[in-house]
Amino acid sequence: MLSVGLTGGIGAGKSEVSRLLVECGAVLIDADRIAREVVEPGTPGLAAIVDAFGEEVLAENGSLDRTGLGAIVFADPDKLAVLNSIVHPLVGARSRELESSAAEDSVVVHDVPLLAENGLAPLYDVVIVVDASPETQLDRLVRLRGMTEEDARARMAAQATREKRLEIADVVIDNDVPLADLERRVREVWADLVRTAHASPAPTQE
């Protein structure tokens, strides 16, 4: 099994790359989706968040008010650290559980938005960074996601710099290109990943 960390700045097109890798045959573990699952109503994760931040972070139906919580932690690094200390271990445990259930010859791609920010590169055999210029990111966030330019710039500034992401990359996928070129590049990367996975020594039997 080959464990791959996939990351990229907001608006870089990481979701498109993960979709293409799945089409190639990757097993995808989506950290964002898991982060939502581990704080659903009735979970220990949601209970811990309410303990830390109070019941005002709950919506009327008892689910997590993500917008309200985001407003609290986005402006306060200490509160963000508290939230991360609750959610990240739960996401990590669930990700490992999913990875362990994959076939031995799988290429398992972990889609992790904040991989660089949280120093997670050593957890993976290969780190892929989806890269796009800040101008491209800004255009996509405003044009495709409907953000204001101010909000888009703030979201980008809150993440690791482009340079920091590229420093941890074993593989860079340039997404300042037409879709056909992106698809061709992803197929090339996939072929390399499969070769690497199959070249890895099999685990020894006890």
Residue spans per domain, the chain: 1-26+106-198, 32-104
Between 158 and 36, where is the model more confident?
36
- CATH code for the domain defined by 1-26+106-198: 3.40.50.300
What one-character-per-residue DSSP string does 15-82 give?
HHHHHHHHHHTPEEEEHHHHHHHTTSTTSHHHHHHHHHH-GGGB-TTSSB-HHHHHHHHHT-HHHHHH
Which residues does 44 contact at the CB level (< 8 Å), separation at least 6? 90
Q: Is the pLDDT score of 206 beyond 50?
A: no
pLDDT in tens, 112-165: 988 999 899 999 999 999 999 999 999 999 999 999 999 899 889 989 999 999
Q: Is domain 32-104 in CATH 3.40.50.300, yes or no?
A: yes
Q: Taking the model in full, what pTM does it have?
A: 0.84
Phi and psi at 60, nearest 5°, equal -60, -30
Q: Is the pLDDT score of 202 beyond 90?
A: no
Could you give the count of Cα atoms lying within 13 Å of 20 in the half-sphere of its Cβ?
A: 22
